[in-house]
Homo-oligomer: A and B are copies of this chain.
Amino acid sequence: MVFLCNIRIFAFMNFSSKLIEEAVHAFAALPGIGKKTALRLVLHLVKQQPEVTVQFAEAILKMRQNIKECERCHNISDEKLCTICADSRRDQSLVCVVEGIRDVMAIEGTGQYRGLYHILGGVISPIEGIGPAELNIDSLVERATSGDIREVIMAISPTIEGETTIFYLSKKLRGLDVKLSTIARGISFGGDLEYADELTLGRSIVARVPYKGAGE
């Protein structure tokens, strides 16, 4: 079997074309894309009309060259202020602190939040060498100090690093006239009690909430 495996790995070294080889390497440098997938993508582009590749490359180049960081919340943006910060219909006194851009997308997807965001750019993780200085914490403190903010919601993953970050933020924001909150934790809607982890289930019993019946 070792013999067979060697053949398969070796098979991808024979590109017979320098151009194909370079394009495969370019795709394979992206996260989660191996050489096999990269080759499939390149051969797909070769089969299509050349315009398809030009449009593909232009969309990505245009994105990378024009994308900005929102100067208020650090979200990715086409303009100086992102569409969320620039939207005057949103509650400007409510700030939701998240780790990354994908969290913003997930929360926006719920349609349940109408405030602003603040993107930290990660969580405090000494193992990965990420300290408070590497995160957008100073600008958050600045926003909170301005007096325009009524409440800061810390929507950060309940991992060890996340909890550390929440603790650090709460120390930094303490003393300011700002309400601090975290998102509710417990058993997922649609989740099965049987398969919930012990910590979540245990805490969801301790932090139980009064039942509001339909008649009340």
Chain A's interface: helix, strand, loop or mixed, by majority?
helix
Is the CB of A135 closer than 8 A to any CB of chain B?
A: no
For window 4-49 of chain A, which residues contact chain B by CB distance below 8 Å? 4, 7-8, 10-20, 22-23, 25-27, 29-33, 37, 39-46
Segment among A71-79, A141-149, A178-186 that sits at the interface with chain B = A71-79
A18, A44, A59, A75 — most chain B CB neighbours (10 Å): A59
Q: A4-B189, A11-B109, A109-B11 are in contact. Are A45 and B16 (CB under 8 A)?
A: no
Is the CB of A1 closer than 8 A to any CB of chain B?
A: yes
Interface string of A101-115 (1 = CB under 8 A from B): 110111011110000
Is the CB of A129 closer than 8 A to any CB of chain B?
A: no
Interface residues on A, range: 35 or more
Binding site for B on A (CB under 8 A): 1, 3-4, 7-8, 10-20, 22-23, 25-27, 29-33, 37, 39-46, 50, 53-67, 75-78, 82-84, 101-102, 104-106, 108-111, 188-190
